[in-house]
């Protein structure tokens, strides 16, 4: 990888990136896949602001390289969460490069220490009481804004035009759905969609206007709608002539295999496709049904209409599907909602009624609203 970065600065070998002659910019985003995808508008804005600077990303192992495949960044280094040696090894590779800026949307002490060891003219992150030694430009974190815009706001001191747009935007309204589950449009300048690029590639599996992809999993167990709910929904849709794919990570394969067996005719593809192949498949499909998890953000990158199911979390936390063609299915009469920023592994009330009571008919109706 050291050679890769060195090559980036060798004019003879830069090839199609020959224009990247300005000092590079480093973005450190070691969060889970969903948050990483919500960094795309920030990274795209960086490209516009600094068209001649290579953009280097440090991200979580298995996820970050997707953004290089999408050409949102020029170089990627991956770290293993909870493994200090992997952070130290990437830091050692980067500490010889003089970066123009280091931008960190990730707020942990580990990330701050990682950025500390790499030289840069300016280091940018959110304002925290403890991080004044690590970052020179500390931006107020506006909790009214949805997450994608919050991350973009890190550029507000360097990008007056963006700062003005962010000031004018009604952040709170962008995080509310109406009674039909409809969400306000995502501003074009902050879109995640890379649909055009993805539609030019062939999917690894057949997909068309009758294909619906479902993401039944989540890192947090309470954020998962019930398996019975997903099965009944899939059966209804297949009766109407749709094909259903169950999608997700390798860890979710046992569940998606169970769903495949019980919803006859559906197909589990979890753990079988790379993230890039998943995006291509989504872009060729008609719709996505996902819990409040990375699936809804993958669908936004693919530009595919989405029904997002919310249980213990709420839109007001800022993690709405960042997709102009998205509807939300949720219950308003569960008084313990929300019960945690990210959901829990176990329902604190032992009822899990926010998901168990969510009717199949409501999610099915939302799918038809989309179609």
**Interface residues toward ligand SF4, by CB under 6 A:** 222, 311-312, 334, 336-337, 339, 347-349, 351-354
* Min CB(312)–ligand SF4 separation in Å: 4
* Min CB(207)–ligand SF4 separation in Å: 33
Q: What b/e string do you get for 253-278 counting C-beta neighbours within 10 Å, with b at 16 or more? A: bebbeebbeebeebebbbeebebeeb
Q: Give me the long-range contacts of 228-232 (CB less than 8 A, separation at least 24).
A: 229/355, 229/358, 229/360, 229/363, 230/259, 230/263, 230/289, 231/259, 231/262, 231/263, 232/360
* Min CB(316)–ligand SF4 separation in Å: 14
Q: Token pair for residue 104?
A: 């960190």
Query: Whose Cβ is closer to ligand SF4: residue 88's or residue 221's?
Result: 221
Query: Whose Cβ is closer to ligand SF4: residue 217's or residue 305's?
Result: 217
Distance, in Å, from the CA atom of 73 to the CA atom of 301, rounded to the nearest integer, reads 15
Residue in the shown chain whose Cβ atom is closest to ligand SF4: 339
CB 213 within 8 A of CB 302: no
Query: Whose Cβ is closer to ligand SF4: residue 81's or residue 346's?
Result: 346
Q: What is the DSSP letter of 344?
A: -
Count other C-beta atoms under 10 Å from residue 116's C-beta: 14
Query: Whose Cβ is closer to ligand SF4: residue 181's or residue 312's?
Result: 312
Query: Whose Cβ is closer to ligand SF4: residue 303's or residue 312's?
Result: 312
* Min CB(110)–ligand SF4 separation in Å: 29
* Min CB(187)–ligand SF4 separation in Å: 30
Query: Whose Cβ is closer to ligand SF4: residue 284's or residue 352's?
Result: 352
* Min CB(363)–ligand SF4 separation in Å: 16
List the strands of the sheet with 211-215, edge to edge.
267-268, 243-246, 211-215, 287-291, 306-309, 326-329
């Amino acid at each position: 990888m050291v050679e890769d970065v060195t090559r980036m600065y060798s004019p003879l070998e830069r090839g199609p990136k020959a224009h990247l002659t300005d000092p590079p910019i480093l973005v450190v985003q070691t969060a889970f896949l969903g948050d990483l995808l919500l960094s795309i508008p920030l990274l795209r804005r960086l490209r516009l602001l600094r068209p001649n600077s290579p953009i280097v990303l440090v991200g979580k192992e298995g996820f970050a390289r997707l953004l290089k495949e999408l050409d949102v960044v020029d170089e990627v280094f991956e770290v293993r969460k909870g493994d200090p040696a992997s952070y130290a090894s990437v830091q050692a590779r980067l500490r010889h490069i003089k970066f123009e800026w280091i931008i960190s949307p990730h707020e942990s002490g580990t990330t701050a220490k990682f950025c500390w060891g790499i030289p840069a003219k300016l280091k940018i992150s959110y304002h925290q009481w403890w991080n004044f030694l690590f970052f020179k430009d500390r931006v107020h974190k506006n909790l009214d804004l949805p997450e994608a815009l919050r991350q973009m706001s890190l550029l507000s001191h360097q990008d007056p035009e963006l700062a003005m747009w962010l000031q004018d935007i009604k952040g709170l309204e962008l995080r509310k759905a109406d009674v039909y589950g409809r969400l306000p449009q995502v501003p074009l300048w902050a879109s995640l969609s890379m649909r055009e690029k993805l539609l030019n590639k062939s999917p690894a599996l057949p997909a068309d206007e009758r294909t619906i992809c479902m993401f039944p999993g989540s890192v947090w167990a309470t954020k998962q709608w019930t398996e019975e709910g997903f099965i009944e929904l899939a059966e209804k849709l297949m009766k109407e002539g749709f094909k259903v794919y169950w999608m997700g990570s390798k860890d979710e394969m046992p569940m998606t295999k169970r769903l495949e067996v019980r919803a006859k005719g559906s197909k589990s593809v979890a753990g079988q496709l790379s993230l890039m192949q998943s995006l291509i498949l989504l872009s060729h499909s008609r719709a996505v049904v996902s819990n409040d998890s990375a699936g809804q953000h993958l669908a936004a990158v693919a530009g595919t209409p989405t029904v997002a199911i919310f249980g213990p979390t709420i839109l007001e936390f800022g993690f709405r599907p960042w997709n102009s063609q998205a509807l939300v299915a949720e219950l308003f009469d569960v008084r313990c909602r929300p019960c945690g920023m990210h959901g829990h592994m176990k329902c604190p009330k032992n009822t899990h009624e926010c998901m168990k009571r969510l009717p199949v008919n409501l999610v099915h109706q939302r799918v038809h609203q989309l179609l």
